[in-house]
A and B are shown apart, each in its own frame.
Chain A
Amino acid sequence: MSISVNGQSCVPPGFRFHPTEEELLNYYLRKKVGNEKIDLDVIRDVDLNKLEPWDIQEKCKIGSTPQNDWYFFSHKDKKYPTGTRTNRATAAGFWKATGRDKVIYNSFKPIGMRKTLVFYKGRAPHGQKSDWIMHEYRLDEVTDTNSHSHSHSHVASPIAEANQEDGWVVCRVFKKKNHLKSISSPKNCSSITSDAKTQLMHSTSDEALDHILQYMGRSCKQETEKCSNASTSLSFKCLKPIETIASMHERFMKLPALESPTFQSSVSPTCNSQESYMQDTVAAVVNMDRNYNSGDGITDWAAMDRLVASHLNGQADPAKHELACFDEPNFNFYPTSRLLLSSGADECTRGASDITSNTGGDGCDGDLWSFARSASSGSGSERLSHEESGGAGGRGGAMEWRYPYMGPDQNLLTQVRTYVDILSERGRGPMLDPFFLICFTMRACCFNIRADQARMYVS
């Protein structure tokens, strides 16, 4: 397909098809969905299941100018007639979604969603990751701020979900550039010191956490046996309700980044036995909310907390360690009335105070946390409800992912193991470390916080 008039290319030098996301959604996809004529047929229809990524560049080229990205329309088909998932397998491999879906805004109005997918050669779950990346854009009229905290929106309305998983999408395919982004590269180190402020402003809590986890994954690989010992040295012994959780979380929010040498050295293995560490960690077990039937507070993160809890319970003696040190209300800012704090909490005083140096922070976090504290002390329930009615964006998709409370039973344990298996399968090393699981939970919370922050910035 070439853009030409009387055989002459009418695209002047330097110009090429490089649409903005808004143009893709608001012009091309909207016309496609509405069956309107598109002036210049630059975006072809493609059957994604029949086209390998390396064939896309030939099929979707525009004129003769060299391209780094290619565009096409694709009609999503369901994997199973009854399900909601999309079949994105080709003969040679499959496209696998990764990351969270991103809301695409037209100034401040959400107009659609972007899903990022990576091409894996082979068949799940043993595919081999490639450098081919696809951004899949869908129009999403009903998008609200809820949708972007987790990619898989277990949207309340089945109709909305059906719309999302069925129909025309516009895709952009490109080959990932191989930047070497090593966390330990000297370049990064220096940029941390000279730009600490910028880093703090731009890097987010989960980046820091990711770094931690990446590092953990790496050290786990290197010293499989000492995996959990390494994390013990973070003095992550016990978790204390409310304040400590908050402050620990805050620290996570403000971790300078893993590049900080102090942090790295603090990860040196010490000699706590795995067993005793487990027991300490079990002190952080979530006490299940027995008031579940009120039905207003079960979130995915709560489920995650439980998964962690049940996992830990599964490995240690559940009866012995029935301590209630934190509960998802802390994380998700529910009123304390739902907190069940046992006397065992007293043991959990140290918290994360030694975890690493705190590097100051910005006012936004402070506000957030003062809010968190007031909410969890019960006096902030009014603000809380206001917050919820004000858009519920904070917990986002979390609200929609509800699991009934079943207690720390074998099923949940299996689930945790499943997650851990996924990680191991991806070469992240043995991740059975409880510290990891707690990080995982913390990370889940960061999601919520970030969504809140995002909304604060927007509003």
Chain B
Amino acid sequence: MGEGITSLPPGFHFYPSDEELVVHFLHCKVSTLPCYPDVIPTVHLHRYDPWDLNGKALQATDRFYFFTRMSQSRGTPNGYWSQVGSDEQVRTGGTDVGLKKTLVFYIRDSQERIKTNWVMHEFHLLDGSHSNSSGGNANSRTKKGHSTKECNKWVVCRVYDSSGGSQSSFQDEGTELSCLDEVFLSLDDYDEVSLPK
């Protein structure tokens, strides 16, 4: 899926920014506008553990994308998603248009809960950024607690395994350099000062 737009040359992938996800995709979904490209499917979040999203959600560059309806619990058959950190604003052209929540997947194992490397970014639309009023204001929602209204609320999610497939390590490496790595490399600078032969 997702790579179905075959006219693109190699190297082009679905790799939307936060802004694009909210402004383009989520906005269209909520407003029931036709969405081009219509690549992001709708998934019932509570039915699938993250490792079962394969084939259900759009998979592109080791990340999964899907729309889902916001529900009170983010439980799945074998675990649940739990928010970490605070909400981030998603902005376009200087205006806040959405909220980004980061969640981590925990496996529920009898009494224990086991943290996993699965991470989800959940994007909410802020009021006023679309004509349809089904969204509701995320800010007021967090203050007032759960309302019945939000059960109808669409969110768009990006799920990935942070322990890294090739692509995510591809993203993050370069920041993980140890001082000893540097030392070993620095030895190369002393090629000319070679050891006695």
Contacts and interface: CB of A to CB of B under 8 A. Distances in A.
Contact of A98 (B13, B185, B187, B196): B185
A116 B177 contact: yes
Contacts of B16: 13-15
A133 B174 contact: yes
A28 interface: yes
B178 interface: yes
B33 interface: no
A27 B181 contact: no
A97 B13 contact: no
A133 B115 CA distance: 31
A4 interface: no
A406 B195 CA distance: 9
A406 B184 contact: no
B173 A116 contact: yes
B9 A210 contact: no
B178 A18 contact: no
Q: Pick from B15, B24, B178 the residue with the most CB of A within 10 Å.
A: B178
Given A97-B188, A99-B181, A100-B184, A14 B15 contact: yes
Interface in A164-221: 174, 176-177, 179, 181, 194-195, 198, 202, 206-207, 209-210, 213-214, 217
Contacts of A124: 189
A415 B196 CA distance: 10
* Size bracket of the B interface: 35 or more
Contacts of B188: 85, 97, 151-152
A16 B12 contact: yes
A18 B5 contact: no
A263 interface: no
Interface stretch (A252-260, A363-371, A418-426, A450-458): A418-426
Contacts of B182: 98-99, 426
B10 interface: yes
Contacts of A423: 179, 183
Q: Pick from B7, B184, B188, B197 the residue with the most CB of A within 10 Å.
A: B184
Given A10-B7, A97-B185, A15 B179 contact: no
Contacts of A181: 175
A195 B114 CA distance: 8
Nearest to A418: B190
A11 interface: yes
Nearest to B61: A18
Nearest to B84: A187
Given A15-B8, A440-B183, 20 more contacts: A11-B8, A12-B5, A13-B36, A14-B39, A16-B12, A17-B11, A18-B61, A20-B166, A39-B9, A85-B188, A99-B182, A118-B174, A135-B174, A151-B188, A152-B188, A176-B175, A404-B195, A406-B195, A409-B196, A412-B195
**3 interchain residue pairs of minimum CB distance:** A19-B11, A14-B16, A210-B178
